[in-house]
Each structure stands twice: as structure tokens, then as C-alpha cells.
């Protein structure tokens, strides 16, 4: 089942639990606006190249739309639609005043020079500048983009609208980016895991973690878990996978990854098959890479008691059923990885106020939001007698539905 089908399925189950009428249900699913633009740029060798840029703006009942911009060769419209919709529910679960969006450009950023990427980003911004904005739609980095991409968008947008640092988040610190943004998703994963473990009378300290994916989110989660006394026993990334049942020395691994561009060959652990990291003996599994990695093929072999979804949509609906029968508790992505968008919200707030926060404040307020979010999800689980995934979906969908009705938008 692809991401869109799975997201629609979860939405429909939540709508049924909430007893939404069919007209409202239908209007909540339809995107507010889908934008598709041609971006033609001169390449460094003087030839012209054309790329397709797009933006799906899903819902703005609760505030400006929010979501990443990715540069990737296979940009699937269905997936972008699913991710835009997921952002709508995620911002509602986090209780921040945004709706959902997603977008990007179909290109392979590795094949383009820095100056070609800059020209492409600026042309894309010229095409959509009147459709994004501080109170309309606030983009952020995603796969294949980063703080520099955001800096180019900010500069190009500001040529039309005056200096507008709040038009994008995930910016470099020097241009109004927030302290603590880089670690935010990984730190949110830690706070989410803490909330879940506290519920079961445990703490992070002494628990064994396996982490699939060692990019920004996975590596920050590993460092922060290690600092809290958690044992990271297995890790994988695109280069390979490693395990050490006594616990991996995470600071040494970080040094190794910096030098060798991956976990492969790390001396403080044994090499294992990349897929087997998901089925390693551990207490908590954190999938922090791609979607659909936990499926009916491997769900029966998973030994973790808890799964904290740091990636978007890592668990297939079929695997969900198998795991819940086994008594595995899954903390869903729309809550567990919302630390990133929450700190993006803090960045936007700081830019609008023209007043920047200390990093300690960013982290403290993030913890408050993540802890409250978990309580809210648990409330919905009690009300509707459902698992955490449905608890999070009913919470998000209900907040958006209420805002939609209060604004008089229901069909």
C-alpha cells in the first residue's frame, strides 16, 4: 500500500471514529490548491534545462500551510499529496497554528552544480512567490534541500515582498534560523520516547535501542539517547549496519561517520546485514529512514516491545495489524517526528517578533509541547478505545474538522 492509500485509510478510520459527516470528510481530503510550474534554467555549459516544480497546499483551516520542499528525481504526485495531508494532521496533533503543504522539484541535486541549484531555486521561487508567504504557506527543507536552499528562497522572495525572514524555516542561523532547529526532530523523538516509556513505568536509561537510518534524525536521536543513559545496540545507514549488544559508543561512531561518510567499518561494533537492524534484539526500535520498511515480510520477526516512528510512514498497515496482535506498542510518525515542525514554528514566531530565543528555551518549550502532545493523544485513545496511531489521527483530524466548521467552510 503506497503512502497516499495508507494516509487516506487512516484518515477515513479516524473520520468514522469521530462520526464526521460524509460531506465534511470529503472536503477535508481535497487539497486546497495544487501548483505545477516549469522551471527553465541555463546550465553552466550554456545549454537550457527544464524541470517541473510543484507545491501541494492541502489545508489552511488552522493557519498558514507548512511543509518541506524536496529536490529528488522521482517526485511522485501521490506521495507529495500524502505528505501534504500528513502535515495537516501533524501540525494539528502538535497543536501549532498551521495547515499542511509539501512540494519540490523533480531533479537530481547531485547532478547539478551549486550555481545551477541556486538558479533553479530562484526560478522556482519567482514562479510561486505570490502563492507562498508568511501568513499563506511557509516552506522548509526536505530531502535534497537544506539551509542554503532556504536562504536563496528567502532572498528571492524578499526582492518581491521586502525582507521577510519568516517566509521559510530551517534557515541558516545568520539569516534568522533558530538555535536548536538542527537537532529538533531527533530531540523530539527522544522526548516522545521518554513520554511513552514513562507511561509504562520505565525511563530511557538502561533501555536498548536499535536505530534504522543515521542521517540528521537518527544520529541526533542516537546522541541524545546515549546522553540519557540509553544503550544504542544497533545502527544502520545506506553504507551498512553495525551492532554491539553491550552498547555502541555513540560519540566515537559520530566521529567515524564524519570521517568515513557512513557507519560501515566502525571498529567498536560488528557488521550485520542492513535489513536485520529492524529485527535485532532490542527494547525500542526507531525507524528513521524511508517509508514502508516495516511490512508483512519482517513484522513477525521484530523483537522490540516499542516502535517510535521517526521516519514518515515507516510501518505498513499490514505490519501494524501483525505487531498490535504481538502486543508491540507503536508511537506513530505524526506525533513522534513532530519535533522538527514544532521548532520550525518557534523559528517563525521568533522571526515575526524580531526577537530570538536562547537554545535552552527552544529545547524547554519543545519538551512542553511533546509532553502535552502525548497526553492529548492518550486522551483520544481513551475516548475512542483505540491504539496510539488512531489516537493521534483522531486528535489531528478532529482539530482540523472543528476549525473548518467554525470558519463556516463545511460543504
- Cell 497543536 belongs to 95
Q: Is the Cα torsion angle 190, 194, 195, 199 positive or negative in sign?
A: positive
Q: Is 337 annotated as a binding residue?
A: no
Q: Rounded distance, CA 174 to CA 276, Å?
A: 41
Q: Which of 334, 388, 235 is nearest to 3 (CA)?
A: 334
Q: Is 185 annotated as a binding residue?
A: yes
Long-range contacts of 72-75 (CB under 8 A, 24+ apart): 72/104, 72/106, 72/107, 72/108, 72/109, 72/143, 72/144, 73/106, 73/107, 73/108, 74/106, 75/104, 75/105, 75/106
Q: Is the Cα torsion angle 150, 147, 116, 112 positive or negative in sign?
A: negative
Task: Given the residues 12, 26, 102, 303, select the one marked as catalytic.
Answer: 102
Query: How far from 275 is each of 237, 290, 316, CA to CA, in Å?
Result: 10, 12, 16
Q: What angle do CA 118, 123, 125 make, to 5 degrees?
A: 95
Name the CA radius of gyration of the chain, rounded. 21
Q: Is 66 annotated as a binding residue?
A: yes
Q: Is 367 annotated as a binding residue?
A: no
Q: Which of 342, 340, 336, 322 is nearest to 287 (CA)?
A: 336
Q: Is 198 annotated as a binding residue?
A: no
CB-side neighbour CA atoms (13 Å) of 155: 13
**How many CB atoms neighbour CB 249 within 10 A?**
17
**Residue 54 · residue 78 · CB < 8 Å:** no
Angle between helix 339-353 and 184-199 (nearest 10): 130
102 is catalytic: yes
Report the catalytic residues: 102
From the annotation, which residues make up the binding site for substrate?
Answer: 66, 90, 344
Residues annotated in a binding site: 66, 90, 185, 216, 344
Please report, in range form, the residues annotated as the binding site for NAD(+): 185, 216
Amino acid at each position: 500500500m503506497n503512502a497516499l492509500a495508507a494516509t487516506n485509510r487512516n484518515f477515513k478510520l479516524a473520520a468514522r471514529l469521530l462520526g464526521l459527516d460524509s460531506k465534511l470528510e470529503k472536503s477535508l481530503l481535497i487539497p486546497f490548491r495544487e501548483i505545477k510550474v516549469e522551471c527553465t534554467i541555463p546550465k553552466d555549459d550554456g545549454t537550457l534545462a527544464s524541470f517541473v516544480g510543484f507545491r501541494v497546499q492541502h489545508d489552511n483551516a488552522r493557519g498558514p500551510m507548512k511543509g518541506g520542499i524536496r529536490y529528488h528525481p522521482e517526485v511522485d504526485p501521490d506521495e507529495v499529496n500524502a505528505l501534504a495531508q500528513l502535515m495537516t494532521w501533524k501540525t494539528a496533533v502538535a497543536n501549532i497554528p498551521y495547515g499542511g503543504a509539501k512540494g519540490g522539484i523533480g531533479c537530481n541535486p547531485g547532478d547539478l552544480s551549486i550555481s545551477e541549484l541556486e538558479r533553479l531555486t530562484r526560478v522556482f521561487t519567482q514562479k510561486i512567490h505570490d502563492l507562498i508567504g508568511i501568513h499563506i504557506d511557509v516552506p522548509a527543507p526536505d530531502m535534497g534541500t537544506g539551509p542554503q536552499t532556504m536562504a536563496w528562497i528567502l532572498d528571492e522572495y524578499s526582492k518581491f515582498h521586502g525582507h521577510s525572514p519568516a517566509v521559510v524555516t530551517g534557515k541558516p542561523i545568520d539569516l534568522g534560523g533558530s538555535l536548536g532547529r538542527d537537532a529538533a526532530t531527533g530531540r523530539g523523538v527522544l522526548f516522545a520516547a521518554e513520554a511513552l516509556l514513562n507511561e509504562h513505568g520505565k525511563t530511557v536509561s538502561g533501555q536498548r535501542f536499535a536505530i534504522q537510518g543515521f542521517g540528521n534524525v537518527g544520529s541526533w536521536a542516537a546522541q541524545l539517547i546515549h546522553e540519557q543513559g540509553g544503550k544504542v545496540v544497533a545502527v544502520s545507514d545506506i553504507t551498512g549496519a553495525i551492532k554491539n549488544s553491550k552498547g555502541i559508543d555513540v560519540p566515537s561512531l559520530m566521529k567515524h561517520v564524519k570521517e568515513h561518510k557512513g557507519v560501515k567499518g566502525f571498529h567498536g561494533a560488528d557488521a550485520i546485514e542492513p535489513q536485520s537492524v529492524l529485527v535485532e534484539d532490542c527494547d525500542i526500535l526507531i525507524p528513521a529512514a524511508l517509508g514502508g520498511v516495516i511490512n508483512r515480510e519482517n513484522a513477525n520477526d521484530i523483537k522490540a516491545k516499542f516502535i517510535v516512528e521517526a521516519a514518515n510512514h515507516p510501518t505498513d498497515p499490514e505490519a501494524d495489524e501483525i505487531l498490535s496482535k504481538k502486543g508491540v506498542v507503536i508511537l506513530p510518525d505524526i506525533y513522534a517526528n513532530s519535533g522538527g515542525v514544532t521548532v520550525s514554528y518557534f523559528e517563525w514566531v521568533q522571526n515575526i517578533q524580531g526577537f530570538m530565543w536562547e537554545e535552552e528555551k527552544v529545547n524547554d518549550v519543545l519538551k512542553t509541547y511533546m509532553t502535552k502532545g502525548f497526553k492529548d493523544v492518550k486522551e483520544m485513545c481513551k475516548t475512542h478505545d483505540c491504539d496510539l496511531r488512531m489516537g493521534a489521527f483522531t486528535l489531528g483530524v478532529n482539530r482540523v474538522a472543528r476549525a473548518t466548521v467554525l470558519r463556516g467552510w463545511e460543504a
